[in-house]
Amino acid sequence: MSETRLYPGVKDFASDSLWVEAAGLIRHPSYGSALLAYCDAMTARVPKLLPANKLFAQKQRYLVSFILICLHVQWLQSRGPAPSLALLQRSAPGSSRQIAALISGLRDRGLVTAKSLETDRRTQVLKPSLELMREIAQSPLAILSSSELFAPLLPIRPDDLATDETLLAHWLALSAERYAVKDDLFGPFPLIVRHSERDAGHLVFCAVMAEALRQRQGKAIAGSLTYRALAQRFDVSRQHISNILDEAAEKGWYCISPGGELALMPDDTLLQVETWVAGQMAHYRRLVVAIAGKSAGVAADAGDIDQKSDVLSD
């Protein structure tokens, strides 16, 4: 792994307990294997019946869904107003028209339901389904599972979390609330941010990163990163893949050869991803501890999340 423990983008947060914990995760000798496991998990599941690549694998649509989950939980806990379309349009990124169209599409697929508020029949309460929450939680759950390859098992296992509608909703809501307070887990990572702005961009990058890690192990898969292979794998056009890879090469993030092989993966790119994933691991593991405490009757909120979780001893 890289000698530098954290990507410079988080230098202003490096003394925070979460990032101290993240640095400890990176130093673990099995961290590289866990990082590869995360990338493989993200790229292994590409739904055919539910076009999740189109619905959720793009930042704005993903965040709207994430925020809806948070608003619904806050309402259930009497900490916020009913999660109506109007409230979501005021709270989430994007134009009112874009958000309305997304919610309409999610309702058509049964991923969001709407029911009149008993005290005000004019207000339609939007409720995210468990299926939608699982889609939004795909990356966080993969993060948890990969962390358990080398860190202590969690009080709530990832598979159990994925099947419990209440726990999953509260877990995701706590994450959204922390993001609203402090954006040190996403904004400081330009490569992650930019790929997330493109349809299936994060999935494409995970495929590239997996190949880089395999290359280090002498297990590279020849031709796995051609435009055709990636387009078919993630159900997007070859031109779309070309746009993603061309921009990455122009920015110096990585370079794919015409034959679909990884030609360049700078240390700075590896460090950025190592740091981002480790931060995600520390963050989401802390949230599991928080909701486990809440289910045991111990209060927790976004302000508690920055407390050290002691999930991995140095």
For residues 69 and 173, the answer to whether their CB atoms sit within 8 Å is: yes
Pick from 102, 119, 134: which residue ends a domain? Answer: 134
Give the confidence band of 3 by pLDDT, cuts at 50, 70, 90.
very low
Per the structure block, which two tokens stand in for 167? 């726990």
Per-residue pLDDT tens over the stretch 250-265 = 999 999 999 999 999 9
Q: So what's the pLDDT on residue 56?
A: 56
Asked whether the predicted pLDDT for residue 53 surpasses 80, the reply is: no
Give tens-digit pLDDT for 107-129.
999 999 999 988 888 889 999 99
Same domain, 167 and 260: yes
Percentage of the chain modeled with pLDDT above 70: 88
pLDDT at 18: 96
The pLDDT value recorded for residue 303 is 47
311 within some domain: no
pLDDT of residue 121: 82
Same-domain check for residues 126 and 174: no
Residues 38 and 65 in one domain: no
- Do 254 and 153 have their domain in common? yes
Per the prediction, the chain carries an average pLDDT of 89
Q: What is the pLDDT of residue 312?
A: 42
Domain hosting 158: range is 8-45+136-295
Task: Provide the domain count of the chain.
Answer: 2
The pLDDT value recorded for residue 304 is 47
In terms of Cα–Cα distance, which of 165, 93, 87, 178 is closest to 132?
165
Res 298: pLDDT: 45
Give residue 224's pLDDT: 87
Give the DSSP H or E segment for 62. helix 59-76
Which residues on neighbouring strands pair with residue 124, listed in sequence order?
A: 116
Strands (E), the chain: 112-117, 120-128, 255-256, 262-264
Looking at residue 77, what is its pLDDT? 95
pLDDT given at position 70: 98
pLDDT of residue 219 exceeding 50, the answer is yes
Task: Determine the pLDDT at residue 54.
Answer: 54
Q: What tokens does 182 get?
A: 């402090």
pTM, full prediction: 0.90
* Residue that wins the pLDDT comparison between 309 and 208: 208
Same structural domain, 162 and 240: yes
Specify the DSSP element, H or E, that contains 196.
helix 190-196
**For residue 282, is pLDDT > 90?**
yes
The pLDDT of residue 47: 53
In this structure, are 158 and 247 located in the same domain? yes
What CATH number is associated with residue 102?
Answer: 1.10.10.10
Mean pLDDT of 21-38: 96
Q: What percent of the chain has pLDDT over 90?
A: 78
Rounded Cα gap, residues 263 and 261, in angstroms: 6
Evaluate if residue 36 carries a pLDDT over 70: yes
Average pLDDT over residues 14-26: 95
Q: d(Cα 113, Cα 127) in Å, to the nearest integer?
A: 5
Cα gap 82→126, rounded to integer Å? 8
Domain boundary residue, one of 87, 111, 134? 134
In the predicted model, what is the mean pLDDT of residues 283-291?
97
Say whether both 88 and 191 belong to one domain. no
Shared-domain flag, residues 196 and 77: no
Q: Is the pLDDT of residue 2 over 60?
A: no
**Predicted confidence (pLDDT) per residue in 61-106, tens digit:** 889 999 999 999 999 999 999 999 999 999 999 999 999 999 999 9
Q: Answer yes or no: do 148 and 202 share one domain.
A: yes
Looking at the predicted structure, is the pLDDT value of residue 1 above 50?
no
